[in-house]
Amino acid sequence: MKFASVCVLLMALLFSRMAAPDVPPPAPGLQQHYEALLRIDDTLLERDPPYAAAALLQAAQPELAMRDIPGLENSDLEPAFRIALLLAARTFAQAHVESARRVLDEMRHRSLASPDHYARMAAAYLSIWKPAPAAQLNAHLPPAERLVIPALEVAVAPGPGPTVMSLGGSADHWTLTRRRVDLSGRRVVVVASPGCPFSRKFLEQLKTDSELAGYAKQSLLLFPKGGNLLVPEVHAWNAANPEHAFEYMYAVDEWPDLVWWRMPLFYFLQDGKVVRRIDGWQNGVTDKQVLPQYRVWLGRLDQPSAAASTPIPGKQLPP
pLDDT of residue 96: 92
Q: Are 84 and 66 in contact (CB under 8 A)?
A: yes
Q: Are 243 and 215 in contact (CB under 8 A)?
A: no
> What SS3 class is residue 133?
helix
Q: Are 7 and 197 in contact (CB under 8 A)?
A: yes
Beta bridge partners of 167: 176
Q: pLDDT tens digits for 132-187?
A: 999 999 999 999 999 999 999 988 878 888 999 999 998 889 999 999 998 988 99
Structure confidence at residue 62 as a pLDDT band (50, 70, 90): low
Give the integer Cα–Cα distance in Å for 218 and 248: 17
Give the integer Cα–Cα distance in Å for 318 and 279: 13
**What percent of the chain stands above pLDDT 90?**
41
Q: 0.75 cut: is pTM over it?
A: yes
How many Cβ atoms from other residues are within 10 Å of residue 223's Cβ?
A: 27
- pLDDT at residue 33 is higher than 50: yes
Residue type, 75: S
Q: Where are the beta strands (DSSP E) in 40-162?
A: 151-153
Q: pLDDT tens digits for 195-237?
A: 888 888 888 888 887 877 787 778 899 999 888 899 999 999 9
* 144 phi and psi angles, rounded to 5 deg: -70, -15
pLDDT of residue 41: 87
Task: Write down all domains in the chain, each with its CATH number in brackets.
Answer: 3-145 (1.25.40), 151-307 (3.40.30.10)
β-pair type (163-170, 246-249): antiparallel
Give the integer Cα–Cα distance in Å for 257 and 48: 7
Residue 194's closest CA among 222, 229, 225, 234?
234
Name the average pLDDT for the chain.
80
Give the integer Cα–Cα distance in Å for 100 and 115: 15
> How far from the centroid of its chain's Cα atoms is residue 117's Cα?
20
